[in-house]
Structures are given as C-alpha cells and as structure tokens.
Structure 1
Amino acid sequence: MQSVQRWFNRAFQGLWRSPDFRRLWTSLTITAFGAQITNLALPLTAALLLQATPFQMGVLVALETLPFALVSLHAGVLLDRVRKLPIVIAADLGRGIALLAIPVAAFTHVLSIEILYAVGFLCGVQNVVGGAAYQVLLAQLAGRKRLVEANAKITLGETSSALIGPGIAGLLIQALTAPFAIVLDALTFFTSALMLRRVEARKDVIHMTNRGSVWAEIHEGLLLVWRSRTLFALALVAGLWQVLHHMQIAVLILFATRELGLSAGSIGVAYMFGGVGCVIAAANAERLSNRFGVGSIIVYGLLLTAFGWQAFGLVSGPPWAATLALGLAMLVFDFGAVLYGINYLALRQAITPDRLLGRMTATMRFCTVAAAPLGSLIGGALATGIGLRATLLVVGALGLALAIGAMTSS
C-alpha cells in the first residue's frame, strides 16, 4: 500500500495537484482528440467526396488560417481587457456549432466546397480568439516558474490524443463517411465548454491599467515583438516555418489518397505513428530542455521537422509499405514539431510581462501565422504545376535551408 502511495505521489506532482489545471488539461485533451477526426475528415471530405483540386485544397487550408491575419491583433487587445475563461468557453461552443453544419449539409444533400470554406473560416476565427485565450489562461494558472512543465503536460495530453485519435478517426470515416464523423468532434467542444464552467481560475483577472485606443494597444503589442530581439527572431523563424508547413498541409492528403492510393484507415494508421512521436517528445521535453537548453532544443526541433518534410516526398511503394514509410516520416516530423513548439511557447511566455501576455500571444500568432494562407495557396498552385510529390520535396528542401539558417544565426 505504501509503495502504491509513493508511486502516486511521484506520478502526480507539480501542476497535477491543481484542480483548475487538471480541468483545463482534460478540456484540451478531449478537444484535441476530436480535432484528430476533423483533421482527417475535413480534407478527406474535400478530396474524396467533393473531388477538390489541389488549388481548392489550398484555398480550404488558407481560409482556416486567414483569421490569424484578420482578427488576431484585435483579439490580443480584447484578451488583455477581459477575463479569459469566458472567452475560451464561448469559443468552444462556437466551434462545435460550426462543425455541426457539415454533417447537416451532408444529410440534406447540399454539401459543397463552399460550405467547407465557410466552416473552415469560422473555426479559424474561434481558434484565433479561443486559442490565444487558452495560452494566456494556461500561463496564469501555471505561473512563470512552471511554464515548460505546463506546456509539456498540455502537449502530452494533446499528443496522447494524437496517438489514438487518427486510428479511431480513420475507422469512423470509413464506417460513417467523413462528414458524419465530424459530429464527434463537435461533441467534444460542447463537453469541454461544460467542463470549463467548473474552473475557478482565481488568477484570471483583468489588469486595471490606463487604457488607450484599440489601435494604440495593437501598436504596443507590435512594438513589444519588434523591440525584443528574442521575440522578433522567434516570430521570423516561426512565420517562415508556418508558410512551409501549410504548403505541405495543402497537398499531403491528396498525395496520400491519389498518388499512394491509401484509404482513410491507412492514413489514420500513418497519423498514429506521428502521435507516437508527439507523445515521446512531450514526455521528454522538460528533461531535454533542462539538459540542452531551450534555445538548442528549438533549433534541433526545427531540423527534425525539415527531415520529416523531406521524407514525405520520398514515400512510395505498395499501400502497406507506403503506410509504414509515411508513418515513420510523420513520427520524425511530429517529434521535432512538438519539441520545437513546447520550448517556443515557454520561451516567449517567460520573457513577457503579465499585463502584455494577451497582446504578445496574439501578436506572435499574427506574425507567425498571418502568412500561412499564402503558403497554402502556393502549395496548391505549385502542386497543380509540378505535381504533388515534387511540391513536398520542395517543401523539404526549403525546410532544411530554414533549419540551417536558424542554427547558424542562433
């Protein structure tokens, strides 16, 4: 009995002892599980059911990220003026309602690529506002000394969902078809909203300072990033990385279904390999950061994502071999991406004053993701011109150049 108690105490240390953190962690984990379904079902609906072209796929991905350019700066000002928890709950409800439009349209036989565009855009708006609020709320709950621990634990929950979610998503898509599988994702957002109503979040307070105009506060957030050498460097590298990442996102599902001939179930299995990489990275992120330093891990993570991109374009062979090769490439990519993301978030949160966390988060999201729609459009257009495989190889080569540039300048 004492040995069991000792194991329990070791396993549930630190932030696990905070009820608010546990509820926030559970909320993010279940919505991450649901997102695994939509991450597969939405592009598969476009590619298989609606026979979307590479450029239409690029437009779909672009519209999902366009809100970062349109509303993220205003969202940052909003978050510094209000409590974050109600914003998170409203965003969860909004995303759930938007996602339900897809199965309803499919059931009534009116589903079109334009409806997918609208849902992708609306979910993107909720992601911009709600996602930024989540990050600020997490930083407030954890405290500055536990930012790496908090981000690692949150990512561990999300990546655990990535481990089992794609396989279940693939089975659901094959059994129910892609549009109807999205119902489960909508339900996870409704469940999350109900769960978050029990969070107390005593540190989620409004900072009462002299308020200027919205544009003045947006300008203050931009100046914060511009004047900080660290934040500016992080924004520049992350922005270029996001362009390449969205070039890849726009074509990878089409490449898997049309050139490799993989089914939804096989793609789900390949994505599960990526989940393994995510879990391994999240479980070891804090230890690796303590040993090698946050900056070094950021660079190493970038390099691993570049290797993963390059490997995507080299996948070939019969379906079973292609599934295995694609899965191993995803394992490498996701391992690097999670290591990079955890340390990137922790570093930028650690060097920013509390009163500016909302604006910093939104400004960094604007700077890093505003150009992502362009990447999606470039990816779709490039695939139309030179083919899906060649586009992935171009992304891999540019990713290696970015990682080497970050390594030499750090």
Structure 2
Amino acid sequence: MQPHSPWRVPDFRVLFTATTLSQLGTNIGYVAVPLIAVTALDASPGQVGALAALSTVAFLLIGLPAGAWVDRMRQRRVLITADLIRAALYASVPVAWSLDLLTLGQLYLVVLLTGAATVFFDIGSQSVLPQLVGRDGLVQANAAVVSLIAAGNVAGRGAGGFLVQLLTAPVAIAGTAVAYLASALRLTAIRRTPAPPPPERRIRLGAQIGAGLRHVFGNPELRALALTAALGNLGSQIVNTMLPVLFIRELGLPAGLLGLFWAAGGAGLLLGARCARPIAARLGYGRTLGLAGLCLAPSALLVPLLDRGPWLWVAGAGWVLALFKTGLDNVLGVSLRQRMTPDVLLGRMNATFRFLLTGALALGAAVAGLVGELTSVDTTLWVGAAVMTTAFLPVFLSPVRTRRELPAALLVRG
C-alpha cells in the first residue's frame, strides 16, 4: 500500500462503503422512477422529461448557497441527514402504490425533494474528501470514488432493470429507500470531520457565494473544466431521458435490456476511471483530457443509431466509449480542481461545479422533453449526441491541455 494511500484512513473507508450503498440506491432509482412513470402512469415524453428535470433542478435553485451552508456545518451530519431524507421520500412511493394512490404529482415531488437532499450530500462528500485523505491522496481517492460510481452504474442500473422486470418498479424503489437508510447508518461510524468556523469569523452568505464563483470563473483552467463537464452532462442527459421511451414504448424492448444498456455505459465509466491515473502518468493530465475528447467524443454519434438487432450493439459500443471518456474526465478533472482550491473554498468550489453540472442535467432533461414532444425521440437523441461530441472543446482550447502534472501548490489562498 502506498504511503499516501487513502485506504490507510479509516474514515475514508467508512465514507467509501457508505457511498457504495448510496450509489446502489441512486442507480436502482435511476432506472425505476422513469419506468414506473412510463409503465404504471402512462407518462408522455414531455412528462418523462419533466420528471428528469425536477430530479436535478434543486442544484439550480439552492446549489450555490448550499456550498456556503456546507462550509458552515459538520459534513458528517450533513451526509447522514441527506441520506435519511432520501430514504423516507423513496419509501413513500411503494406505500402510495400499494394503496392505489400513486400519481405523477407525487413522483414529481419525491424527485424534487430528493434532488435537494442530494445537493447537500454531493457537496458535503466532495468537500470532506480532501480533508480526510490529504492532498497527496486525492488522485487515488478520486479514482476510487469515480470507479465506485461507475461500478454502481453497472450493478445498480443492471439490477434496477431486472428488479423492475421481475418485481415491478415500486418494489425496486423500495430497495432504493433501504440502500439510503443503510448508507446513513454506516456514516455514523465516521470519527472526525473538521469543525465549522466559529460564528465571529463567518462572512455574509452572498459574499461567500461570490468568492466561490470568482474562484471558478476567474481561473481559466477551472472555467474550462466546468464548461466541458457541464456540456457533457447536458448532452448525456438529453440522451438518457429519452432512452426509457425508446426502449419500452417505441422498440418494445424489456426493462432488463435497458438496465443492461445503462450498465454497459457504467462499465465504460469504470474502465475510464481505472485507466485515468496510468494514462495521465504517461501522457500528462491535460494532454490526456484533450486527446480523450478528440478521439473518443465522436463515438456518441453512434448512440442515435440504436434499434433492434445489430444496431443495438453498435449503439452500445458508442455509449461505452463515450462513458470511458467521462470516466477519465471525472478522475482527472475532479483531482485538478480540488488541488487548485484551498480548504476554505472547497465547499463553494464544489457547489459552483455542482450548480453548473447538475443544473445542466436539469436543462438537458427539459430540452429532451420539449424536443421529444415537438419532433421525435430519434431527433432528440441526435441533439444529445451532438452536444456530447463537442463538449470537450473548452478544455481542448484552454491551458488545461498543456498541463502535465497536478499543481504543486494551491493557486488561490483562502
């Protein structure tokens, strides 16, 4: 085990296993929620798009102040509370379904409030990570977390598709609630998180938010990383929002096959995350990001060819390659931005990125619903694939492309 390995830190191991449970629940819900809307509530493409948009719109509504709030609180308490809220919200869906009371309105409310809890969980977990493992352990820790997220995409979405097929979507959603509850219980084992600053040292909320925005948008490398990641999320969400409608309604394929398609993308994400460190060590961090975009981003254009027969395999191969690039981007991009940010700004930097990245998911879902209603599912997929193909350009045209190593010292002082 390496001297700076995050696996030597007990609290990181706790956070990692709790995140494993949380990701399992998230990915089962990712498959089950739109499928229950399509199969049980006969939702239209526009309604499916609205459901996906509401699941992430909280990052646009509270994403920026949440970063300042997280910087004022103990992250352990934030993470536990967020998991408990998500567990209770998801548990309400199978209860309402069993009483024949489930409506699209309830699903809208559940995904909206769950998204708000996820805002705090995501910002809190990314902000506490550098403080648990230290700056020298960041790349390995981020590679482990991104690999975990990718593995969750494989296991959770694959399991979600088959759970829906075998036990119905509401039962699968009950599994999501159990996973969030287990994550909350596991997080109680974290022994230490940094204390928030004393009240007399706190500044106004607006000033704190402004400092985070200036830090991200005032740095050309952080700005490019944010724009590329946001465009990537926008394109992938447009595609993902329409996939349940395409698979289930237009092609008549089983839910389990949709879960496998998403799981294959997760396998690509996992492989990209695992390859990120060795490739960056050989080519350099920035050059890896640039070349990955130039060579792999066009593979997203294979996804709109999805149909029965061999075209399903062609589209699946394109999806795997596109997500392989995303896995590389996630490990290297997150490590770069964390090393460029002082501890005092971590919450606000992460909140700014989450505001942009998850806000792009909300916008992508809304665009998918609108384009799907006005044109067709196929047209919507081509729009999403085109955005994914060009998303790498901000990083490719920025100083990030020439960076060989992680920053040796912080570029900004808190």
The verdict on a shared fold, with TM-score over 0.5 as the criterion, is: yes
1:6-405 alignment runs, 5 A limit: 14-202=5-193, 204-208=194-198, 210-303=201-294, 306-318=297-309, 321=310, 323-404=312-393
Does the aligned pair in 2 maintain the 1:99–1:186 contact within 8 Å? yes
Shift of 1:404: 4.3
Post-superposition Cα deviations, 1:15-35, rounded to whole Å, max 9, x if no partner, equal 222211111111111221222
1:304 and 1:247 mapped to 2: Cα distance? 22
372-381 or 74-83, which deviates more:
372-381
Q: Distance in 2 between matches of 1:213 and 1:408?
A: 36
State whether residues 289 and 395 of structure 2, in contact with CA within 8 Å, keep that contact through their aligned partners in structure 1. no
CA distance in 1 between counterparts of 2:189 and 2:295 reads: 39
Question: Is 2:235–2:383's contact at 8 Å kept on the other side of the alignment?
Answer: no
Q: CA deviation at 1:45?
A: 0.9
- In structure 2, stretches of 5+ residues that fail to align are 402-414
Deviation at 1:58, TM superposition (A): 1.2
SS of residue paired to 1:370: helix
How many residues are matched? 398
> For the Cα contact (< 8 Å) 1:305–1:399, is it kept in 2?
no
Structure 1 stretch displaced more, 264-273 or 205-214: 205-214
SS in structure 1 of the partner of residue 392 of structure 2: helix
TM-score w.r.t. the length of structure 2 is 0.90
**Same amino acid, percent of matched pairs:** 34
Which runs of 5 or more residues in structure 1 are unaligned? Answer: 1-8
State the Cα RMSD in Å: 2.1
Three-state SS of the structure 2 residue aligned to 1:52 is: coil
CA distance in 1, matches of 2:42, 2:293: 33
Contact 1:309 1:396 in 2 (8 A): yes
Contact 1:59-1:377 within 8 A present in 2 as well: yes
CA distance in 1, matches of 2:243, 2:229: 20
Taking structure 1 as reference, are residues 288 and 207 closer, same or farther at Cα in structure 2, changes over 3 Å only? Answer: farther
- Give the whole-Å Cα distance in 1 for the aligned partners of 2:211 and 2:393: 32
Change (3 A) 1:109 1:53: same
SS of match in other structure, 1:258: helix
Partners in 2 of 1:402 and 1:21 — Cα distance?
A: 32
Q: Is the 8 A contact 1:305 1:334 kept in 2?
A: no
Q: Which runs of 4 or more aligned residues in structure 1 lie more than 6 Å from their structure 2 counterparts after TM superposition?
A: none
Query: How big is each residue's C-alpha offset from its partner over 1:52-96, in whole Å with a ceiling of 9 and x where there is no partner?
Result: 111111111111111111111111111111211110010011111
Structure-1 separation of matches of 2:227 and 2:152: 30
Alignment CA distance shift 1:162-1:243 (3 Å) = closer
Residues 272 and 327 in structure 1, CA contact (< 8 A), matched pair in contact too: no
Question: Partners of 1:253 and 1:341 in 2: how far apart?
Answer: 25
TM-score computed with the length of structure 1 as normaliser: 0.91
Rounded to whole Å, the distance in 1 between the matches of 2:94 and 2:35 is: 14
Task: Give the letter aligned to residue 372 of structure 2.
Answer: A
Bigger mean CA deviation after superposition, 12-21 or 254-263: 12-21
Deviation at 1:101, TM superposition (A): 1.4
> 2:260 is matched by which residue type in structure 1?
V
2-structure distance, mates of 1:384, 1:223: 38
Instruction: Write the distance in 2 (CA, Å) between the matches of 1:391 and 1:333.
Output: 17
